[in-house]
């Protein structure tokens, strides 16, 4: 039996960050959260007065470490992306494939299945962002791939028999019968890259769409006489909303409005990260187009946003400093709420007995000092066994 104790820091429990508390981990799971001095004997992680939070979960990760999932949907690519984002506190993620051919989608699903079977740290499933999008709201997605799914394709895109399958689609582009079929096959559906009206969005939510992908982006703005998808998402208390808090995709004031409009627990942080995260190379190619970093934003030559250079630790810091939310809530938006959105809230996203020991240690500057997945420290991090 492998036992590890975390102590001498602030532990995020359901009551907030608590001092004079320690966490006991055995065989990859949290077995106790204790007040007072830690038990003697087992190895200890001295948090040096820092913050211990549940490991971050990112449901929208296109790339990292210099690689893009679309370019090479393989186990090696998924592992590289996971290693890159783990440095920034992400201990659970969905490798995300943007609009592509059916063949590439099948390869991505097969690679995800193989990565989970091989025990690649942190892989929770796959996110298919497209290709069932509104052509006018496709953003950087290649128009050649944007389409409506046919009956045969439904079986292929829901073929992952382990982990979670998240599909972003434009509800006005997909028949209700198809939405019902996807839900019946276990897919989690999110609306995005959409020009849906309020009524179309409401009907889609009633049909089982449970989230909205990168709220505000790739959808019409809220208008007084036509709230659209954005208004429908803010109005429906049951709908989860992913937000990109990088100071580029959405103005912080708009994000503050969204957080105030939604019930607590229904807004989650995502990165929409591209290969530049965790890489020394500031540029990459997408669909044959060069993508460059300009003032912290990733853009095509014509200025279209192409994902982000955001990592989850930065998103948490921005949520504190730009949105003015307390650190405990920012950490929940990065861990507990994504876990609940994926239907994994009974296993991930909290520091409580019975939960998987996926953890992130932050210092006073909210920089990542260490991460643990299933109680195992990052072998590439010097602080894994501090």
Binding residues for substrate: 140, 217-218, 225, 249, 305-307
Residue 286 pairs in a beta bridge with 289
272 is catalytic: yes
User: What's the length of the chain?
Assistant: 386
Category of 238 on φ-ψ map: left (φ > 0), alpha (ψ -120 to 50) or beta = alpha
Distance CA 215, CA 78 (A): 25
DSSP code, position 137: G
Q: How many CA atoms lie within 13 A of 283 on its CB side?
A: 9
Residue by residue, DSSP assigns 241-269 as: EEE--SSSSS-HHHHHHHHHHSPTT-EEE
Return the sign of the alpha-carbon dihedral for residues 174, 177, 183, 187: negative
Q: How far is residue 205's CA from residue 192's CA, in Å, rounded to a whole number? A: 12
Tokens matching residue 203: 């009907």
Token reading at 247: 């100071």
The residue annotated as part of the active site, out of 58, 272, 311, 328, is 272
For the stretch 143-152, contacts whose Cβ atoms lie closer than 8 Å and that sit 24 or more positions apart, written own/partner, are 145/99, 145/100, 145/101, 146/99, 148/173, 148/174, 148/175, 149/174, 149/178
Written as one string, the DSSP assignment of 153-181 is HHHHHT---SSEEEEEE-GGGS-HHHHHH
Sequence ranges of the binding site for Zn(2+)? 129, 193, 214
Write out the binding residues. Answer: 129, 140, 193, 214, 217-218, 225, 249, 305-307
Enzyme catalytic residues: 272
């Amino acid at each position: 039996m492998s036992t590890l104790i975390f102590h001498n820091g602030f532990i995020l429990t359901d009551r907030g960050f608590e001092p004079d508390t320690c966490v006991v981990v055995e065989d990859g799971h949290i077995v106790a959260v204790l007040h007072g001095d830690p038990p003697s004997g087992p190895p200890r992680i001295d948090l040096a007065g820092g913050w211990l939070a549940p490991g971050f979960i990112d449901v929208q990760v296109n790339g990292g470490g210099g690689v893009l999932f679309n370019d090479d949907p393989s186990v090696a690519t998924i592992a590289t992306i996971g290693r890159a984002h783990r440095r920034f506190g992400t201990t659970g993620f969905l490798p995300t494939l943007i609009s592509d051919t059916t063949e590439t989608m099948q390869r991505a699903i097969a690679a995800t299945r193989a990565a989970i079977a091989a025990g690649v740290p942190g892989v929770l499933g796959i996110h298919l962002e497209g290709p069932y999008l509104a052509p006018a709201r496709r953003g950087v997605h290649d128009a050649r791939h944007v389409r409506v799914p046919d009956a045969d394709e439904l079986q292929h895109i829901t073929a992952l028999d382990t982990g979670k399958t998240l599909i972003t689609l434009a509800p006005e582009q997909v028949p209700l019968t198809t939405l019902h079929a996807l839900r019946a096959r276990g897919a989690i559906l999110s609306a995005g890259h959409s020009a849906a009206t309020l009524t179309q969005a409401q009907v889609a939510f009633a049909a089982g769409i449970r989230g909205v992908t990168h709220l505000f982006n790739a959808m019409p703005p809220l208008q007084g006489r036509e709230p659209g998808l954005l208004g429908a998402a803010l109005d429906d208390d049951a709908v989860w909303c992913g937000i990109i808090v990088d100071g580029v995709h959405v103005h912080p004031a708009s994000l503050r409005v969204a957080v105030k409009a939604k019930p607590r627990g229904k807004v989650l942080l995502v990165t929409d990260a591209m290969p530049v995260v965790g890489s020394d190379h500031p540029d990459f190619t997408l669909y044959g187009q060069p993508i460059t970093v300009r003032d912290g934003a990733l853009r095509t030559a014509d200025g279209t946003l192409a994902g982000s250079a955001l990592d989850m630790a930065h998103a948490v810091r921005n949520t504190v400093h730009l949105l003015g939310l307390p650190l405990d809530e920012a950490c929940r938006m990065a861990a507990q709420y994504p876990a609940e959105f994926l239907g994994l809230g009974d296993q991930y996203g909290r520091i409580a007995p019975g939960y998987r020991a996926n953890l992130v240690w932050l210092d006073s500057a909210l920089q990542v000092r260490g991460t643990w997945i299933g109680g195992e420290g990052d072998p590439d991090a010097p602080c894994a066994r501090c």
